[in-house]
Amino acid sequence: MASSGVHRTSLIAGLLFVVLGVLFLLDALDAINLKGAYVWPVALIVVGLAVLWGGLTASRRRGGEP
């Protein structure tokens, strides 16, 4: 998963954690109101996108059609 010296998984996970951390911090400080009704569907979407991304990149590595 490394390309041009950057490990893509670590990069994406790092970006995701920073964004989520900022959102949770704003929620803890009452600047925004994160509701469970939004958190879990978004989490499911993110997990789904990660699975799709993993499947596509694995397929490309093998040289097959996605």
Partner 1 sequence: MSDELPPEGESETPPAETSEPEAEPKGTAILETGPPIPPPVPPPSRAHKLPLTRLMLGALFVAGGALWLLGALDVVDVSVTAALSVALIVVGLALLAGSFTGRHTGMITIGIVLTAGLALASTFDIRLEGGIGQRNERPASVAELKSEYKLGVGQLTIDLTGIIFAPGTTTHIKARVGIGQLTVHVPANGYVFADATAGLGEVLLFGRQSSGFDVELSTPVLNGIRPGVSGRLILELSVGLGQVTVDGQ
**Least distance between partner 1 and beta carbon 3 (Å):** 11
Chain residues that interact with partner 1, rule: CB under 8 A? 1-2, 5-11, 13-22, 24-25, 27-29, 34-36, 39-40, 43
> Cα–Cα distance between 3 and 57 in angstroms, integer?
12
**Least distance between partner 1 and beta carbon 10 (Å):** 4
What is the distance in angstroms between the CA of the first residue and the CA of the last residue of the chain? 17
The residues with which 7 forms a beta bridge, in sequence order, are: 2
CB nearer to partner 1: give 28 or 56: 28
